[in-house]
Amino acid sequence: MNVGIVSDHRGIVLKQKLTDYLNKKGYTVIDYGTNSKERVDYPDFAFELCNNVINNNVTLGIAICGTGIGMCIACNKVKGIRCAKVSNANEAFLARQHNSANIVALSADTCLLEAKDIIDKFLTTNFSGDERHIKRIEKITEYEVKHER
């Protein structure tokens, strides 16, 4: 499986540790940046990851920033992306099984052991395909803001 990974300047250490971990497990990890501790704008990297998920260059993605929240918000601006900011392996499991999340967002402060558990669960869990979950995802995908005048 090809996995895309990105981080901002705060997430670079965790990103490198997870990349090494996943490579040892046999995953092909594609790093879309950043590769510097100099301050960067996380949306640039989030959008690069999203484009590669949408274009099927990678199967799933991992996004890391200070809190994980900024990356998650940016990723979810891209049509077809369902990014979940998770804090534990159970949330990663449910994000994949119920929401068919295709990107997981993590805080740079997540301890490595917890981050490994989260990523393992995220990458090995399949979407349930249950009708109730499909219906909910379709509602999210098809929603358009209605402007009242």
Candidate list 9, 50, 72, 98, residue with the active-site label: 98
Three-state DSSP class for residue 147 = coil
Q: Which of 9, 50, 65, 83 is catalytic?
A: 65
Among the listed residues 50, 17, 18, 20, the one whose alpha carbon sits nearest the alpha carbon of residue 32: 50
| Residue 98 annotated to the active site | yes
User: In terms of Cα–Cα distance, which of 129, 131, 135 is closest to 96?
Assistant: 129
Cα gap 90→21, rounded to integer Å: 20
Known catalytic residue at 133: no
Q: What residues are labeled active site?
A: 65, 98
